[in-house]
Amino acid sequence: MNKQIVLEDLGTKDYKATWDYQELLFKRILDTKIKNRRENAQLETNNFFLFVEHPHVYTLGKSGDISNLLLSEAQLEEKGATFYKINRGGDITYHGPGQIVGYPILDLDNFFTDIHKYLRFLEEVIILTLEEYGLKAERSPGETGVWLDVGTPFARKICAMGVRASRWVTMHGFALNVNANLGYFDHIIPCGIRGKAVTSLHVELGVENVDEAMVKAKLLKHFEVLFESTFVSHANTETP
């Protein structure tokens, strides 16, 4: 079983360009799996993990409600933001500077074939990382992502999640607010959930700026343990 994951940090990259790259890697894995099945081949599938920070963008999942975007096209332009309808689950969310976005593109046949377990593991990676900063992060029943003060009037989301999976291959992932400008969330009903706030790690810690490289290192550490994997900088097998 290939438990290596190819890690790429794309820096700041346009949402659509990153989405296209995800689709390319996703298709590469699927093509290998299809070839294995049709030709009884034994080719290994690669696994990938992308870190990225997007310029201001709002994305709407396939089951989302466009009315949860509170800006017109002209207002989007004024805010310097773009908008995309995309093929992940979930409703509307925001990505922008100061937010760490992680896209695991994994063949779950290399790990475990359970999408619910996969989502819980992604949440656990975030929960364990935030614990290192002295925050008690939790799941909120019936709501994806990671929250603080669940079950109280002060409940607030710090990490959004939305994934797509086909033939046990995943794409899209999580968006953790680290130094995010929370004002951009005022222009949507985040994830379609009314009456609950959004927060960022720098706000919770009461500091101006959190070291994002350190947060990424902690995320990767917990991901490796939970997924019993190792991050590498390049693929060790060729895909067709």
Catalytic residue positions? 191
Q: ∠125-2-145 over CA atoms, to 5°? A: 20
The encoded tokens of residue 103 equal: 């896209």
Q: Report the chain's terminal Cα–Cα distance, integer Å.
A: 18
Report d(CA 16, CA 63) in Å as an integer.
Answer: 19
Question: CA dihedral defined by 95, 116, 201, 66, rounded to 10 degrees?
Answer: 30
Instruction: Give the residue among 196, 215, 213, 171 at the shortest CA–CA distance from 59.
Output: 171
Residue 82's identity, in one-letter code, is: T
Q: Report the side by side order of strands in the sheet with 82-85.
A: 82-85, 57-60, 92-95
Residue 162's nearest CA partner among 85, 227, 110, 228 is 85
The 8-class DSSP code of residue 78 comes to H
| Partner residues linked to 115 by β-bridges | none
